[in-house]
A and B are shown apart, each in its own frame.
Chain A
């Protein structure tokens, strides 16, 4: 089922049209306000064609790229996360009755979504979120509804942002799992390969024929070159132990001096799943709506329990975030919580770089 096919660039419109006819809401990276985010698209012309992103710690710009290049933008602040784990979602409606009250679950309703242009790191992140929201019998109905019928068209990365380190986290740059169809963009067209029966069927519907060996080799070469040119790296060797042992490393306080505690890193992280649940009560007191909203371990109230706050200082919270993401996440869910997408680096207003922090802690380990 891994047979590579050749897909002309013009066939992308056909793919979008077929998905639309099959009832999918088709989503792709759309440029808006100086970045890209997944939004509804009607044709390939809605994608950021001929545009590339320039990313650095605390800085993101879109700029003209290469004519005709469709997937030149590596990523923006928006991952798949908001489309499955909603930023704000009503869960329950509780109504006062003559005696007592009645709680009704609010069901989500949305057409299935098809995502075009998903990167390997974001597919890896979605698999991590699956382990959180669809774990055994603890299944989140809202997440599951959106998740089960989604269709994914991955795009292998043939260039990385300077903030990327998927190679270190073993999630990219080539998509290996979690997609229906994967594309590698070459100057003259795509090499497309299926990742599921639905993807195989789509290749038939698109009438694609087998790719030549030269196209496959060219695709491989571009992906390999991207892997070699990865902007950042993180040494993950023995990571849980390193961070546990270095809980008192002075570096935590140094980074806390720069950390704004604004929570942007956790908001853009494609795996961060912390949330809060609030009750919104009508003024007459007869109806209350229970809403789940994204929250962050960087907010003070998140660590507030009866009578005390567990993480009152910024260094407590930064350490909590990084240690959970890279260490205790492994104990908890069996994998790292980081996929190397680099968003937390780019979208930190203070430009804090977790790869730099881990390296500094490693370099000073045992000396504290």
Chain B
């Protein structure tokens, strides 16, 4: 029997699930290797668990989702999160520093119908996660590599090093050194292929913190570049802002001003 694969969505924009659909021929080959039994974004058929491999996109922002993720975990042999929302809480984690009641009243005409949590939290704060694929959105090649490894029953391996290594492998000019451009590359996990620096822009940190990083030195570098206070804080408090090293660094910057 082919392994049963499921793709679940929580609070997210669907961009990471779309990487399956963007895989084109590779997706068809995957369908030959595995039975994709639950993937509402792609097909109407939705079968109950158990699942051999569950991909989870999005963060937990509602009481219902906080219960649902536990059910997903119970039904799944391997649970792999896809994307910044699932791994770090996503851009919607900005609510974690704000007043959710104020948001609810400002956004919705009938706020009484909105049942929401005051926080957006990563999946790993709720259940055990077997592997996290980072990125906003995730990289298709990484997604397929992790899927292949797990179908073989092998430990998936993705690089945890800085974007700088990818940048230099590609022969990009360093935007920090040549132009004094603020760039999160030195503290960000590789995986995007150094997309922004290749376009002469600083890295936005879409893949979250590199596994080896020095946030204190990086904050000092931003200050040296003339990026101060709120601006430095906002650069860290973005897509992956709620992940611990960046959260702590941004909070320290906010406290300092």
Contacts and interface: CB of A to CB of B under 8 A. Distances in A.
B151 A260 contact: no
Given A301-B211, A350-B217, A350-B221, A264 B30 contact: no
Contacts of B32: 284
A37 interface: yes
B161 A260 contact: no
A282 B173 CA distance: 32
Contacts of A350: 217, 220-221
A281 interface: yes
A257 B187 CA distance: 14
B171 A87 contact: yes
Contacts of B164: 262-264, 267
B213 interface: yes
Interface in A316-368: 317, 346-347, 349-350
A256 B152 CA distance: 40
A349 B177 contact: yes
Contact of A294 (B23, B165, B218): B165
B178 A261 contact: no
Interface in A51-108: 58-61, 76-78, 82, 87-88
Interface string A209-237: 00000000000000000000000000000
Contact of A300 (B141, B161, B169, B176): B161
Could you say which of B144, B160, B170, B177 has the most chain A C-beta atoms within 10 Å of its C-beta?
A: B177
B228 to A, nearest CB: 17
B216 interface: yes
A347 B175 CA distance: 10
Contact of B212 (A35, A267, A298): A298
B107 interface: no
Given A88-B169, A257-B217, A300-B211, A349 B162 contact: no
Interface of A: 32-35, 37, 58-61, 76-78, 82, 87-88, 256-264, 267-268, 278, 280-285, 293-296, 298-301, 314, 317, 346-347, 349-350
Interface of B: 23, 26, 29-30, 32-33, 141, 144-145, 147-149, 151-152, 157, 159-162, 164-165, 168-174, 176-180, 185-187, 200, 210-214, 216-218, 220-221
